[in-house]
Amino acid sequence: MTAFDFLVVGGGPVGLSAALALTRKGLQGQVIDQAEAMPQRQSTDAIGLRSPRVSAINQSSIQFCEQLGIHSGFFQQNGCRFTDMRVWDAEGSAKLSLPADGVIIENDRLVHRLFDDLDKSVDDGDDPVRWRTGIIDIIPSSTEVRVQLSTGEFLSTALLIGADGGGSKTRDLLGINTLGWSYDQMALVAVVTMDQAHGGTAFQAFTQEGPMALLPLPESNQCVLVWSSRHAAERFEDSDETLLSLINQACEQEAGAALAMRDRQRFPLFQRHARRYVKGSAVLVGDAAHSIHPLAGQGLNLGFGDVMTLSAVLDEMRFAPDISLATALKDYQRQRRRVNLRMTAMTDLTKRLFDPKGAELRWLRNAALRAMDQQTALKQMIGLAGAGFL
């Protein structure tokens, strides 16, 4: 039976960053993922091939990636820096402008870069990720965790990291319960061509159906639509002309006119939080531990924050022999649950405050936007600390 220092379940950005961080410490590990293969690799100038699955990452996340060896030039070449956020009520007159300092990056491009760096960091001939492989059982003991793969093989590891998303099989097999609920919305995403340059601005409108964001891509007139709509299933079936008309009704005065769109996708929205992040020598990170509404743009930032903290507590254990793995993981859980619960609560409160239901709430959200727009210090704190979007 093959033994590793760590085993990561999930080959997304959070899982790969965890594997890379631990490999950089000289630990031997393996990543497994159920996906058929890596996402198709696109060239850096593939304008017509931009993906609508993007993340907004803040400066803290960028600094973390730099610590892993990903130079900031990667984000300059592949992502789009945004320095401003504009928020308004499409059903009212209130507006809010916020400073920001973050990058919109396509998830697939980030995955490829993390994989390439991980591949270069492992022993020659070893494959850092096993695709088309899932887990069917987890058998913990006092000194290790045994994992049975979908291939029938068993792997042994000193540390199991569950980074397999909101529907985490790792979390389920560990018997960790969650608290959460589904929202009355789905996210509709697409790549949209605008009639004017976005200028590095992230736009967000609160519409009758739910918050609509236009996030800048490296091309000056390309944005990603993220519409958290109560009617996303219907909108998904609408013609391009109908959907473009709805986008323009909400955004044209602030962001310009949407001329064309492609590659629309949809996915459900829910809030889910694990009641615990740690069980024995197994730990949850990213969406496996916490899934939040995308309106705050903080999902990947929280996941990277988990990995940063996990890496730090493992360093403390290495340099302080009296600290056990159990103690280090409990410290990770204590630190990250506090941060993640606070962001989850803030995001959920914002979603409910700006929920399209009811004239009274529409009046309240207009008043809230106007009040925030007059508070320069508050805007600086929200924009620069979060670098997401409301």
Residues 50, 43: Cα–Cα separation, whole Å = 10
Residues 2, 28: Cα–Cα separation, whole Å = 11
Q: Are 317 and 177 in contact (CB under 8 A)?
A: no
CATH number for the domain running over 2-40+50-386: 3.50.50.60
SS3 (DSSP) at 127: coil
Listed residue (146, 161, 124, 122) closest to 1, CA to CA: 146
Q: Are 379 and 99 in contact (CB under 8 A)?
A: yes
345-355 CB burial, b ≥16 within 10 A, e <16:
eebbebbeebb
Residues 19, 5: Cα–Cα separation, whole Å = 11
Q: In this structure, how many other beta carbons lie within 10 angstroms of the beta carbon of residue 177?
A: 9
Tell me the pLDDT tens digit for each residue of 326-362. 899 999 999 999 999 888 887 777 766 666 555 555 5
pLDDT at 352: 67
Mean pLDDT by 10 residues, the chain (390 residues): 91 97 95 84 62 92 95 90 88 75 94 94 82 94 90 95 96 94 85 96 89 94 93 92 95 93 91 94 96 80 97 87 87 95 79 60 57 46 43
pLDDT at 46: 52
Q: In this structure, how many other beta carbons lie within 10 angstroms of the beta carbon of residue 281?
A: 19
Domain residue extents for the chain? 2-40+50-386
Q: Report how far Cα 180 is from the mean position of its chain's Cα atoms.
A: 18
Residues 85, 203: Cα–Cα separation, whole Å = 6
Q: How far is CA 130 from CA 68, 127, 286, 295, in A?
A: 21, 7, 20, 33
